[in-house]
Structure 1
Amino acid sequence: MQGQEFEEKNAQRWSEYEQTLTTLEKGKHQALDVSTLPSRFRQVCTDLALARHRMYGMPMNEHLNGLVIRGHKIIHRRAGGTWEMLLRFVAVDFPVSVRTEWRLLIVATLSFILPLVGVALAGFYWPDFSWIQAVLGPDMMGQLDTMYGSSDDQIANLRGQYGSNFMMFCHYIWNNIGIDFRIYAGGILACLGSLFFLVYNGVFFGAVIAYIHTACSTKAFYTFVAGHSSFELIAMVIAGMAGLRIGLGLLHPGRKTRRKSLMDAGKKSLPLILGAALMTFVAAAIEGFWSAQPLPPMLKYSVGIALWIVCFLYLGLAGRGAKQSNRAMFGKKMEGDLNEA
C-alpha cells in the first residue's frame, strides 16, 4: 500500500480522533463518549508504527506522532491536584452522595431522632431520676452538673481552669470522630451495629436533655451546644448511612459474590464517612474555640440557627447539575480500558 492510499483510507478516522482530542483539551468532555478513545489511541499508535516502518514520509509521521502525544497527555493526565480534588469533594461529591442515598438518610435519621425525642419527652413528663440515672450513670450526671449546673459562664471558667481551647478541640476530635467510626464500622454486622449505635446515641442524648431540663441550667446547655450541634449531629447520621450501605452490601449481594459486593459497598460509603469526618472536624473546631466563649446568648442562638440552615442548604443544593467527579472518573475509565487491552 502506498503512502497516499494509506492516508486516504485512514484520514476520516484520524480527523474524528483529532476533533475528539481538541474537544477534550478545551475541557468540554461532558457531552462526549470517551469509552472509544483508548481503542482509537491504540489504532493511531499502530498507524504511526506502520508509517515509520514503511517510510511513508516525514509529514505523515509528524502528524501521527503529534496525535499520539496529544492522546497520551489526555489519557494519562491527572484528575487534579490535592486541593482541587478536596474542593471538588466538598462542593460536589459529598453532598451528591448524601442525596443519592436518600433512603438510607431517612432510615438513619429516624433511628437517631425518634429515640432522642421519645426519651427527652419522657423526661419532661416523668422527671424521675431513677431511669435517667440508669441511662446516664452517676458519673455522667455529675459531669453534667459540673458543666451546666449554673448559667454564670461556668463552662468558660472550667475551660480556663482545666484546659486550653486547643486541647479541648483535640479532645472533641478524638471523641466525636471515634463515635462516627464506631457507627460506621457497626454496619459490617448486617446493619445491626450501625442501627444500634444510632439508637443508643439517640437515647443517650435524649436522657441528657431530660436531665438538663430537670436539674441543670438550660441556658448554659443550649448556649454551649447551639453552635456545633448541626455539624456534629448531622455527621453522626451520615456515618450511620455509610454503615448501613456497608451492611446492605453484605445482605444483598445480588449476582455478585459477597466479597465483591462488600468491596463495592465500601467504595460507595467512602464519600459518606469521609464527609462525616470532615463535618465532625468542623464541629470540633466550633466546640473548641467558639461554644465555650462568654458571649450573649442571642448571638450564640442566632449563629446556631444560621449553621443549621447552612447545613441543610449545603446538603440539599450543593453539586446540583454537576456530575460526580467527572474528570476523575474520565481518567480512571480510560486508564482501565488501556490496562485491559
Structure 2
Amino acid sequence: MEGPEFYPQIILPRGFCKNVMHYMHDGPVGGHFGVERMLSRLQTRYYWYKMREDVTLWCRTCTSCAAKARPTKRPQALMGTVRVGAPMERIAADLMGPMNETERFSRYILVVQALGQSVERAKRQYNKTVARRQYKIRDAVWYLIKGTKRVKNKIRKFLPSYEGPYFFLGHLDDLVYRIQKSPKAKVKVVHHDKLKPYHARQPLDNSWVLKDSESWQPLEVSPPSLEDDPSNVDISLNSLFSQEIVDSVTRDKTPTLDIISDVSVPEPEDVELSGGSTVPQELTGTVYGQKGERPLRTKRQPKWYGEWTS
C-alpha cells in the first residue's frame, strides 16, 4: 500500500487568488473543469484560507459554464388543479391495444375515465419531486433557448443552452413570468420551467427594472358578448350536419345579380343534350354571362356514430 503523497504548497496571498483561479479555470490550460477537479489541481501547488468555498463560488459564477450546463435538479413547478363540477364534465381518454381482432375488425378499446380522485392522487405523487423556485422583481435569471436557435456552420450540441442575464419583471400567472434583457429589448413571456438563477461575479445594473415593472399594467380584455343564450344552443351531433348550415353556406357562395326593374329578363330555358335529356340553364356553365359555381353536396351523418345519434 502506497503512503500519503506530499506536495510543496505556496501560501497564496488573498490578492492573488482571483488571478490563479482565472488561469486554472478560464485560461487556456483551464478547460472549465468542475469544483473537485479544479480544487485537486490547485491543492498540488497552492493553499489559502477557505479555498474550497472560493473555488465553488468561482465555478458557480462562470458564465461559460452556466450557459451550457443544465441545473442539477431540473426546474419543475407544481401541478395545477383541474376544477370539476359534475361527473363526466372533464374526462381523460386513451386507447388500449392492439388486441385480438373481433368480427368487426376492431383491435383497440377506447378507455374513458372521469377526472376526480385519480387526478388528486396523481397530483400528490407529482408534487413530491418538484423543484420550484421563487423569483423576485429585479432578480437575474437564465432563459432556456436550447433547440430554438440555429447558427450557420456550427454544431448545435456545442451551442449554449441558456441565454442571459434576463431580469425578472413580474408575474402573469402562478407559473408564467415576464422577463427582459435590457430596457430597449423586447419583453418575453416564459414559463417557470424555462428559467434558472443567474449568479454574477460583478453586481449587475438592474435599477431600470423597478421603473418598468411599476409603469406596466396588464390589459384586461372583456369576453365576447353572446347574443343568444348559451343554454339554448344545440351542440349535439345532429346539429353538426343539419341542413340549415348547408343552406346558409350555399346562400353565401351563390353569386348575386343586380336586376333592373325596368328591363325585362327572359326566363331561362332548359338546354337539351344529345341524349335527349334536358338540363336546367342554372346548372350549365354560365348564367346570363356570369359563371356559376358548382352546387355544394349535401352533408350526411357518418355511419360510425351509430344509432344513438338519431
Q: Above 0.5 in TM-score?
A: no
Structure index of larger Rg: 2
TM-score (norm 2): 0.22
TM-score (norm 1): 0.20
